[in-house]
Amino acid sequence: MDKKELMREAIRLSEENVRNGGGPFGAVIARDGQIVAVGVNRVTSEGDPTSHAEVNAIRAASKALGTFDLSGCEIYSSCEPCPMCLGAIYWAHLDKLYYGNDKKDAAKIGFDDAFIYKELALKPEDRALESSRLLPDEAANAFCEWSEKEDKVAY
């Protein structure tokens, strides 16, 4: 399949998901023009705020390929990913992102992530979500163990 066909599949998934009671988001992960996995938004149907189309597609692709490293794959999303999904796309090492609607289009229908982007730019103590460090000396032990571990799988 070419890029336009793959994007049309992501768009088709988003439309189908709306008709099935979900959010208007669909995603396709492909390698060499072949679909590896797809995902749709299932936030309300699963009661899971992380069940976004891109995250679901990444989870399915990782399972299908047996790896957390999706290098060599591209993701086609019906909409520009939110900050969480964009982070997941980077963590999955996807080679390229294509999207249809952008974040301004999403904001117009009630999916506005601007506040998250603004919060991320702030120092933790200046964010709306109250947060503070607690027991950093104790938490450091796991990092020390990881640093010293000789058989770790880096990611």
**Residue positions annotated with a catalytic role:** 54
**Which H/E stretch holds residue 137?**
helix 136-148
Q: Amino acid letter at 37?
A: A
d(CA 155, CA 151): 13
Which residues have CB under 8 Å from 54's CB, separation 6+?
A: 25, 27, 39, 75, 77, 81, 85, 88, 89
The three-state DSSP-derived secondary structure of 7-57 is HHHHHHHHHHHHHCCCCCCEEEEEECCEEEEEEECCHHHHCCCCCCHHHHH
Token pair of 56, please?
């679901």
CB burial of residue 84 (10 Å; 0-12, 13-18, 19+): middle
